[in-house]
Amino acid sequence: MRERFRHFLPWLWVVMIVTGHALETTKARGAEITVFAAASLTDALREIGSDYQKRSADKVIFNFGASSVLARQIEAGAPADVFFSADEAKMDALDRKGLILTATRKDRLSNSLVIVTSIDSPLEIHSPADLARPNVKRIALADPQAVPAGVYSRAFLERQKLWAAVEPKVVPTDNVRAALAAVESGNVEAGMVFKTDAAISRRVRVSCEIPRADGPEIRYPSAVVKDSNHVEAAKKFVHYLNSDEAAKVFEKYGFIVLK
């Protein structure tokens, strides 16, 4: 028996060493954090994610899209660790269903609306009322029934008593970046998008900016998803989103950081 054990002992050490090495490798790799985020956050979050990975063993993977679509995916059980919405309504809906960790939720950003036209267009728009003019036949909006940028735009136009005139002209798009692309391509005469989206395009110009005091209250909340497979890693990333370092990146892309 002792003789058998002596022969087995070297192999036992090999197994222990290999297993220990595998555990250390797994630990070094860290977690893969999947972040579901509003399309308007694309450029800022890609830079923030890259910065975060330089200081963390964790890897950040983004799924960008309309907040309404992302919220439905989370409800359906999609493997998300963090949700970063372009409005409070979508986060509220998940919160009511117990799908986020409420203690991690925080309103981080704000934004404003602008009316854009193609850089090559001779069309001049000086005020929202100009959208009702006959020479403006098509207006791109993110889906005003569901997507935050479109919902905000519709709410503003309704308050200005312009929605009845504008609604027949609306070309709804999947998200705010798609509305921007429609203006860039010249397929529509104008569009209403977030100011931060207009800022990243060289193919549109801002014809009219909606003052924050006149526009809707725009808020971007983030939170850890309750069914996250990497809750602690997700909490650390959300904490970083609320850091001064991340704030500088958000501000660089034109977002208003909420203190």
Which CATH number fits the domain that encloses residue 75? 3.40.190.10
Rounded to whole angstroms, the Cα distance separating 39 from 133 reads 30
pTM for this entry: 0.88
Residue 24 counted as domain residue: no
pLDDT < 50 stretches in the chain: 1-2, 4-5, 7-27
Closest CA to 150 of 234, 218, 241: 218
- Which neighbouring-strand residues pair with 11? none
Query: Which pLDDT belongs to residue 28?
Result: 53
The alpha carbon of 123 is separated from its chain's Cα centroid by a whole number of angstroms, namely 31
| Pairing assessment for the beta strands 190-194 and 139-142 based on DSSP bridges | parallel
| Number of domains making up the chain | 2
Residue 259, pLDDT score: 84
The conformation of residue 139, written as its DSSP 8-state character, comes to E
- Residue 214 lies inside a defined structural domain of this protein: no
**Do 229 and 104 fall into the same domain?**
yes
40 Cβ contact partners less than 8 Å away, ≥ 6 residues apart: 86, 111, 149, 176, 177, 194, 196, 197
Residue of 174, 216, 171 lying closest to 195 (CA atoms): 216
The residue type of 132 is A
Please tell me whether residues 119 and 102 are part of one structural domain: no
Domain that holds residue 65: 31-110+219-257
pLDDT of residue 211: 95
In a domain, 10, yes or no: no
